[in-house]
Chains A and B, each alone.
Chain A
Amino acid sequence: MEDHKFANNPHKKKKHNFKIYIFLIFIGVLAFIIYSSFYPNNISRTITGNAVQNFDIKDGIKIIAELTPPEELTINSEINKIEIKISASTLHIGNQRIELPDKSSVIINNFKGEITFNPYSILNLKGKANEVFINGLPIKAQSPTTVSFDEGTDFTFLGLKELYLDSLSYITTGKIKLDDAKIILNPSQEKIEIDKFQGNIEVRRNTLKLNGYTKKSNIPKIVG
């Protein structure tokens, strides 16, 4: 006769199931961490829809700004249109490698990915796009295809249309017009903080132009 308290576990199958549950929980947590970190846009949309990514334009206030650009800016968002006038570089579209001559114009439509730039160069552009125009000639793909530039592509103009920026905060000089110029700010080597910006950004000759909307509740933060 076995002593049941200390004998072989009669619920061995249950114990195995318990281990499987723990492992599944671990896989779930790990997958969530990796997915939310490497695809942050997708996860926020999955959980909250577009509520976190964008905001209703009715809640927004017009913002137009002309500022000195930040030393480096990374945007990880869907961008409806990217326009770039670049000096010689190499563009990768899917498996294609395209050598671009000096003063080339590149337009990328429906871009989804990450772009990092400083006032003069695109440090990193990696993502997917449906359509790319090089000097006006279209390069279309059936499905979104990967687009990337060689690191450190110099540009003379960079236009990002219809994008969402969760926050922009840096020390700058320039002019900010809020609510159709009802509020005008002239920061001079002062820190500005703009949260939840939706609109267009242009970078040209050491100037960064913002044209879009920011949340109304964000005004006191910008005004300071």
Chain B
Amino acid sequence: MQKEEGKLKTRNTRKIYLFIYLMIIILAAVLSYIKYTDRPLNPIALYLGIGFIIISLISTEIHRLTHSYEINKNSLILNSGLIYINSKRIEFSAISDFEVIQNPWQRILIYGNIEVHMYSRESKVMLRNLNKPFFFIDFLEKNIEAHGGRKR
């Protein structure tokens, strides 16, 4: 989360990849154990293991880069895509309400989704897997109050 004066930029939290990181750690631990105990290791198995680790790390980072959210003085900006970029700007005046949605797992790891309602509860956008969603909401609320939004 990057915070500047009146500006906040964030991406999906890496906590959503915990399961993949766990798999990477298990693979790395098994490979290290085999190396440490001098057991024979089939080169194809070694390459597959290293390949899985590298591809997993790269793809999680790429996936993370595809979504970013920004709060500035006037609006909330949602960007998606890496090569083809879709950028959606929601003026503060359009925001009527927001909701934090967390399942038990997300509560434990302190991340969650934020549903931003525009004009009505039917028209909404979802900001997914944000770290510390309540902090994000507080910041958004302060900015709306400071720079003029809808009166609620």
Contact = CB atoms under 8 A, between A and B. Distances in A.
A223 interface: no
Given A1-B123, A6-B125, A32-B45, A26 B30 contact: no
Interface residues of B, number: 30
B11 to A, nearest CB: 14
A131 B100 CA distance: 69
A6 B80 contact: yes
Contact of B52 (A25, A36, A37, A43): A25
A96 interface: no
B41 A6 contact: no
B88 interface: yes
B103 to A, nearest CB: 13
A8 B48 contact: no
Interface in B41-99: 41-42, 44-46, 48-49, 52, 56, 78, 80, 86, 88
B127 A6 contact: yes
Interface residues of A, number: 25
A9 to B, nearest CB: 8
A3 B39 contact: no
A36 B45 contact: yes
B34 interface: yes
Contact of B20 (A6, A22, A36, A47): A22
Given A26-B52, A43-B42, A47-B44, 11 more contacts: A3-B123, A5-B86, A6-B80, A22-B23, A23-B23, A29-B27, A29-B49, A30-B30, A30-B49, A32-B42, A37-B39
Interface of B: 19-20, 23, 26-27, 30-31, 34, 39-42, 44-46, 48-49, 52, 56, 78, 80, 86, 88, 122-128
- Report, nearest first, the 9 A-B pairs whose CB atoms are least far apart: A36-B42, A6-B125, A36-B45, A33-B45, A3-B125, A40-B40, A26-B23, A37-B39, A37-B34
